[in-house]
Amino acid sequence: MIGNRMKSGIGRAGVLALVLATLAGCSMMRIGYPQLDTIAWWTADEYFDLDVEQRQEFRRRFERIHEWHRYEQLPDYARFLAETKARLERGFTREDALWVTEGVRARYRTLAAYAADDAAALLMSITPEQLAKLQERWERLNRRFVREFRLQASVEEQRRETGRRALSRIRDWVGHLDDAQEQQILAWAAELPLVHGLRHQDRMRRQREFLLLMSQRGDAARFAQRLRHWLVNWEEGRDPKYDRLFDEWTQRQADLYAAVYRILLPHQRTAVAERLQGYINDFTYLARRPAAQPVAGH
């Protein structure tokens, strides 16, 4: 039940999110992860409409980040998920859910800090026309966010959407839920704070901050420093109301996941454990360094 919400390519996004959210099937992960450079290039090009030279530079820099991530970070992800699995087997608590949430955040920070200098170097070449394309893309995504989270609908409809999303995430991990389980989960989800309206406003705040950063690119070293800080410290500048509500939402969602685990049937708990073990196996497999090739004549 790891939070697998994926953000935009220049926001809280990264390889961990891509692996956990995009490559959901364990068998697909081994196929897809080695092609992550292509996935990332497509994403960057979709946002910025890169020219030929920018695409080449992106691939060169991403290959280095990808190699670091594969051999240095995937083993850590495997250990992290192994500990998550052990906590599930002991009986998942709200403290465990919060531990998982903080673990994902910490690993995002590690990735953002490592990749920031390369991102800054690439962003130095972005033109005003490409920034305009980015803003057009954001506008479409912002409209989709409003639509998907029913932000213009009634409070009751927003709560129903929250419940539908909670059920979908849980079914994805445990399989079929019986009627009693579904009704109980919907009742718990209805008690979660309605955070997505303020979350939408915060997304747009981050977009404005990014554009401001991009307007201050005169000094490359200074820009890289500021971009790294912005990527790693995404909470800075939040509306205090949203900050309080988001913290409450995080705590209440941890309560929900712990409560859900208590009502799971044995075969459903087994499904969660097997899903985690599949990820652990794949991370471990992907992190293996290639065997040294024998030298001709030896």
pTM: 0.85
pLDDT in tens, 181-202: 999 999 999 999 999 999 999 9
Average pLDDT estimate for 100-113: 90
Q: Give the residue from 289, 285, 286, 278 showing the smallest Cα distance to 82.
A: 278
Q: What is the mean pLDDT of the chain?
A: 86
Query: Is the pLDDT confidence value at 208 over 50?
Result: yes
* Helices and strands (DSSP H and E) totals, the chain: 13, 0
What is the reported pLDDT for 46? 86
What is the reported pLDDT for 94? 95
Q: Give the residue from 65, 81, 50, 82 showing the smallest Cα distance to 13.
A: 65
What residue ranges in 128-287 does DSSP mark as E strands? Answer: none
Q: Which of 29-38, 206-215, 271-280 shows the lowest mean pLDDT across its residues?
A: 29-38
